[in-house]
Structure 1
């Protein structure tokens, strides 16, 4: 009997983060994390890159659909994500050549031990090292902006955590998606009142799920989550051809770690 070899495992994008990334149950609708919408947005972006490469005769664009695994959780910090076993699940789901996106900061900033240049930096450094030990690629994402206005000005609410993540990106030569800047720009481009549509905001009596209404300036609506997923896809798609896939990544990982420690 002729035996066919199993199909090659598709490259994965594994997400670790907080509620702005996480999957939601139906009873939370329209609240949504951007991770739920990344697969479609990223596939479309990669298809555009592939079409452009074909037109120019270039090689290396990625059009194959990618498998997105969302292991983010509401309330997660760089500490609790590990303590609750989610980080072990991330590593278990990750193989050489995969990408692991790390977006933390919303909740770390609430804990003194997870200050930007203390536990936050230490925990992210450990995550970066463990992903690279698997031959996979860590990608850092600064925390998305909250819609907090004061006197008509959009406030910055994450303290030093985005800056600390930028420093880690430079120290360890890790790709960085600056979602903080891009989501701030999105909110400001819409304006103080119209930007409400990006977040979970409903008046009383509109939804049986929120009978008293809700005004949330942190957690996205479906429309907001899709808009952020489009930003993530825009920034991430060009990186894919630059990051080795499969066994090539496993060979490259030790060298990358050594370079980051210099």
Structure 2
């Protein structure tokens, strides 16, 4: 029997159009880790927070298509922290948590499984060569606490991505992100230095981290049976 894995999230996961390439969301590569018995339906959208995703009716759209046994992967935080934008800002200790509860309740009400993913980290190195532990503010810790309080499975992609960047170092990790010199790509004629959004390689690597976290999760034993093979 086949099931659908929906992704609710922001630009770090979202499908990118031709005009944005080579920028790539990690959700574009998740399907490649699964057998045909899992269909990935990537509903992540650029620039959204939990607040704006809900306000635009995007969770309601997922709910209409969501069935028993389906999965709802929930990853937000980058835009929830935009305090200057009241249409997106969600306080990590209050509204963000309440919003996450709405996503969780939606999946459970439909007989499916909500899965919380901590925000994928920005590439933000400190002067001593270590990564900024607050690269996405308080949102990863708030997500962990909501998972603990609700019993929803947690994939700690924030920690996993920070470990990946640290292992590569300050220079090598740039290739995971949108670092393009002037004139290198027609979509970015002036060049770009962006330590939030992924290159094609970066998206592949983060999708692998998500698949690996699924493989290592005791709570997702049913889902991991649909992986193509051992993730290394």
Fold conserved (TM > 0.5)? yes
3-state DSSP of counterpart to 1:19 = coil
The answer to whether the 8 Å contact 1:14/1:93 transfers is no
What TM-score comes out, normalization by structure 1 length? 0.78
Specify the alignment match of 1:38 in structure 2: 30
2:119 is the counterpart of 1:125: no
Q: Report how far residue 175 of structure 1 moved.
A: 0.3
User: What is the rounded CA distance, in whole Å, between the counterparts of 2:114 and 2:100 in structure 1?
Assistant: 10
The answer to whether the 8 Å contact 2:123/2:135 transfers is no
Deviates more, 1:218-227 or 1:87-96: 87-96
The answer to whether the 8 Å contact 1:34/1:225 transfers is yes
CA RMSD of aligned residues (A): 1.5
User: What is the rounded CA distance, in whole Å, between the counterparts of 1:242 and 1:167 in structure 2?
Assistant: 24
User: What is the rounded CA distance, in whole Å, between the counterparts of 1:201 and 1:171 in structure 2?
Assistant: 39
Specify the alignment match of 2:82 in structure 1: 110
Within a 5 Å distance, the mapping from 1:203-242 to structure 2 comes to 203-237=181-215, 239-242=219-222
User: What is the rounded CA distance, in whole Å, between the counterparts of 1:232 and 1:26 in structure 2?
Assistant: 24
3-state DSSP of counterpart to 1:191 = helix
Structure 2, unpaired ranges of 5+: 224-232
The answer to whether the 8 Å contact 1:22/1:35 transfers is yes
3-state DSSP of counterpart to 2:93 = helix
User: What is the rounded CA distance, in whole Å, between the counterparts of 1:95 and 1:147 in structure 2?
Assistant: 36
3-state DSSP of counterpart to 2:115 = strand
Within a 5 Å distance, the mapping from 1:74-153 to structure 2 comes to 74-111=46-83, 114-151=90-127, 152-153=129-130
- Flag as ranges the 4+ runs of structure 1 deviating above 6 A: none
Q: Report how far residue 100 of structure 1 moved.
A: 0.2
3-state DSSP of counterpart to 1:150 = coil
3-state DSSP of counterpart to 2:175 = helix
Bigger Rg, structure 1 or 2: 1
Q: Deviations over 1:91-125 (max 9, x none)?
A: 12210011100000001011375111111001001
Select the structure that is richer in helix: 1
Aligned length: 215
What TM-score comes out, normalization by structure 2 length? 0.88
User: What is the rounded CA distance, in whole Å, between the counterparts of 2:69 and 2:212 in structure 1?
Assistant: 20
Structure 1, unpaired ranges of 5+: 1-7, 44-62, 244-262
User: What is the rounded CA distance, in whole Å, between the counterparts of 2:7 and 2:64 in structure 1?
Assistant: 13
Higher relative contact order (CA closer than 8 Å, sequence separation 6+): 1
